[in-house]
Amino acid sequence: MTDDPKTPIPGAAENAGQQQGQQIQVTIDASSMTSSYTNWYRVTGTPEELIIDFGLNPQMGQIPTEPIKLTNRLVMNFYTAKRLMAHLQWAVSRHEQFFGVLEVDFQKRVRGAPPAPPPPAGLRPPTPGLGGGLG
């Protein structure tokens, strides 16, 4: 995330009904923002809202024997959740194109999967600070 108070949002023009290819500037106030790390989440919800709780599992990679401390909760409507899902898919896909496929099965990662192939020639990492707040 950038500290730039005006961040272009790719795709926002389409959502606003403007001509495709244009970007709009959105003013962002990050003065009270906090950052935290998470390696555990829980998704629940209601018919109207999606609820995602984030926490820290101190025993990464195994079934926890001590409580997971929840640190943050996001509550959003399903329209926002769907847009977030699309941006997360885009960001992970871009990461995998550059660095190789991410193995989410912890046991497979521990066993030592073969190293990922190098990124395709000419592929550059994403520009920090862009991508709808995902940079």
Q: Could you read off the pLDDT of 34-77 as tens digits, one per residue? A: 999 999 999 999 999 999 999 998 887 678 888 999 999 999 99
- Cβ pair 119, 111 in contact under 8 A: no
Question: By three-state DSSP, how is residue 1 classified?
Answer: coil
Hey, what are 72's tokens? Answer: 């943050």
Number of residues written out for the chain: 135
Bridge pairing between strands 40-45 and 6-9? unpaired
Side by side, which strands form the sheet with 49-56?
Answer: 40-45, 49-56, 69-77
What's the confidence (pLDDT) of residue 119?
A: 61
Q: What confidence category does residue 134 fall into, taking pLDDT thresholds of 50, 70 and 90? A: very low
Please determine, for residue 114, whether its predicted confidence score (pLDDT) is greater than 90: no
Query: Residue ranges of the alpha helices (H) in the chain?
Result: 12-15, 78-99, 106-111
- pLDDT (mean) for 18-31: 82
Please determine, for residue 11, whether its predicted confidence score (pLDDT) is greater than 60: no
Please determine, for residue 131, whether its predicted confidence score (pLDDT) is greater than 50: no
- pLDDT (mean) for 103-124: 69
Separation CA 1–CA 34 (nearest Å): 12
